[in-house]
Each structure stands twice: as C-alpha cells, then as structure tokens.
C-alpha cells in the first residue's frame, strides 16, 4: 500500500476489525454510530467505480478523507450530525465530471446519495434533507445555514490548502473552523498530501 493510500486508509477505516460489523442503522441521535466499516468500504468501492475524475486527484478519495476528518473534528464543537458530515465527505464531489468548473456536481452528488440510501447506508428523512442541501450548495460560497450544513461546508473549505489556497476565515461559517488550531490542523493534513501528490506525479513522469 502506498504512503497516500495508507494515510487515507487510517483516516477512513480507524480501528477496523472484529466488532465493527454493526447494523446498517444510522445509530443513535446525532448520527454518532456513522457507517459501519463494512458499509463504508462497499460504498467507497461503488463511488470509486463510478467516479469520472482521478480517484487520487484533487477531488478524489484523499480529499474526501480529509473533509471527513475536518468535519468530525469541527462537529465536536458545532454539534453537527456526524452521520451527515461523513456522508457529505463521500458524496459532495463524487459526481464531478471535471476538476474545474462543474456547477451542478454538488446536486448530482446529493441525487446519487438518495439513490444509494438503503443499499450502503441508512439515514432519516431529516438527515437526507441536510445532506442534499449541503451537497447542492457546497460551492455557492454561503456562510449561513443549519450548523450541520455549515460544518460540512467548512470541512470542505478547510481543505483548500491542497491547491495552495489558505482558507479565508471570512468564508467559514462556524466559529470552530475559524480557530487557529482548526485551520492549522486542516492545513497540516492538506500539505502532507500535497507532498505525496507531487511525489506521485514525479514518479509517474
């Protein structure tokens, strides 16, 4: 397993092993249980197989892993629904058709989530509404919304370091994301990936 794959694996599948094969249920309030390891893996395999952009590129699995990590970090302070945060990380860019201007990719990601609900994960109607809204509007630059939605958007924006952009606190909707500690942690994740990404490109010539 490459270094990048190893990092992604440890972010997305922490503590995998016996006892992780729980029910498909979305779990207790606030989505605390999130996806089981088994369903997360199956879902990600499905998303990988239909992805139109580079799985290891700027909007691929490593980005999703960091958005998930950023979102769950912020959720400790914002009280966001962790299940929605995780699903957002996996779906918001899953239907991109290019790495640049792709206006409706968020809405398409939300539609895909609706299609796959019940097959790889379950969620309440409220959770699906939040997920669809968060996916659809994640690149609209908004900073006012439900705390779970804002947490999703900030988790994505905090990963701008991967393309050499320092997130502007003005465009972050939660207080938790605007702290020096959150921004530093997210940048650290993004920069570590940039080094690995450059190295991979160099090796590929």
Judged by the rule CB under 5 A, the positions of this chain that interact with Fe ion are: 93, 156
Nearest CB to Fe ion, comparing residues 37 and 62:
62
Q: Is the dihedral of CA 80, 62, 157, 51 positive or negative?
A: negative
Cβ closer to Fe ion: 35 or 67? 67
**Shortest distance, position 91 Cβ to Fe ion, whole Å:** 10
Cβ at position 23, least distance to Fe ion in Å:
29
How far are the Cα atoms of 33, 98, 112 from residue 46, in angstroms, in the given order?
Answer: 21, 19, 11
Closest contact distance (angstroms) between CB of 115 and Fe ion is 19
Q: Which is nearer to Fe ion, 37 or 94 (CB)?
A: 94
Give the shortest CB-18-to-Fe ion separation in angstroms.
33
Q: How far is CA 15 from CA 10, 37, 63, 166, 182, in A?
A: 8, 9, 20, 31, 23
What SS3 state is found at 117? strand
Phi, psi of 13 (to 5 degrees): -120, 50
Q: Return the number of the residue (93 or 154) whose C-beta is nearest Fe ion.
A: 93
CA dihedral of residues 5, 7, 12, 16 (deg, nearest 10): 90
């Amino acid at each position: 397993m490459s270094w990048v794959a190893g990092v992604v694996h440890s972010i997305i599948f922490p503590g995998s092993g016996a006892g992780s094969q729980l029910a498909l249920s979305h779990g207790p309030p606030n989505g605390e249980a999130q996806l089981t390891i088994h369903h997360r893996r199956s879902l990600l395999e499905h998303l990988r197989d239909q992805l139109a952009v580079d799985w290891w590129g700027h909007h691929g699995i490593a980005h999703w892993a960091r958005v998930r990590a950023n979102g769950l970090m912020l959720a400790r302070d914002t009280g966001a629904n962790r299940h929605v945060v995780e699903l957002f990380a996996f779906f918001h860019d899953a239907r991109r058709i290019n790495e640049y201007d792709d206006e409706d990719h968020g809405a398409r990601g939300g539609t895909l989530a609706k299609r796959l609900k019940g097959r790889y994960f379950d969620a309440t109607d409220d959770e699906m509404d939040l997920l669809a809204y968060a996916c659809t509007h994640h690149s609209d630059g908004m900073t006012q919304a439900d705390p779970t939605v804002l947490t999703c958007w900030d988790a994505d924006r905090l990963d701008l370091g991967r393309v050499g952009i320092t997130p502007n606190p003005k465009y972050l909707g939660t207080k938790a994301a605007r702290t020096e500690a959150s921004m530093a942690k997210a940048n650290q994740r993004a920069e570590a990936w940039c080094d690995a990404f450059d190295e991979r490109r160099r090796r590929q010539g």
